[in-house]
Amino acid sequence: MSGVRHSPSWLDVFAGTDTPQDRVPAWVARPPDPYRSDREARRYLHQDLEELSDNEVWRELERAKHSVVVVEKPDRWFLERLKRCASEIRRRRGGRR
């Protein structure tokens, strides 16, 4: 099957045989644009977390984790998002872990 180009799998990406940045969706690699809308501005400033359901906060936490793991040089916003989501989850649990 020489000459046939296959789509790289995530294993190829993590093994370093392909460029991860080329395969990462924009929602994973880019922080929200605060100038796009009020909603995006609130998200950029992490002011949206109190309004989200428990499940939505958990998804935001997982999205931020995914970004930090998959993107070669993640935006600092994702690191802050991790902290803020974890803090919001702790707050909702009454300070329990």
Q: Cβ contacts of residue 60 below 8 Å, gap of 6+?
A: 49, 52, 81, 85
At 59, the amino acid letter reads R
The CA-CA-CA angle for residues 60, 62, 68, to 5°, reads 105
Cα–Cα distance for residue pair 59/6, rounded to 1 Å: 31
Identify the three-state secondary structure at position 57: helix
Q: Which two tokens stand for residue 81?
A: 């998002």
Cα–Cα distance for residue pair 19/76, rounded to 1 Å: 21
Identify the three-state secondary structure at position 67: helix
- In order along its 97 residues, the chain shows pLDDT tens digits of 455 555 555 455 455 545 555 566 666 668 999 999 999 999 999 999 999 999 999 999 999 998 888 888 888 999 999 999 999 999 999 866 6
pTM of the entire predicted model: 0.70
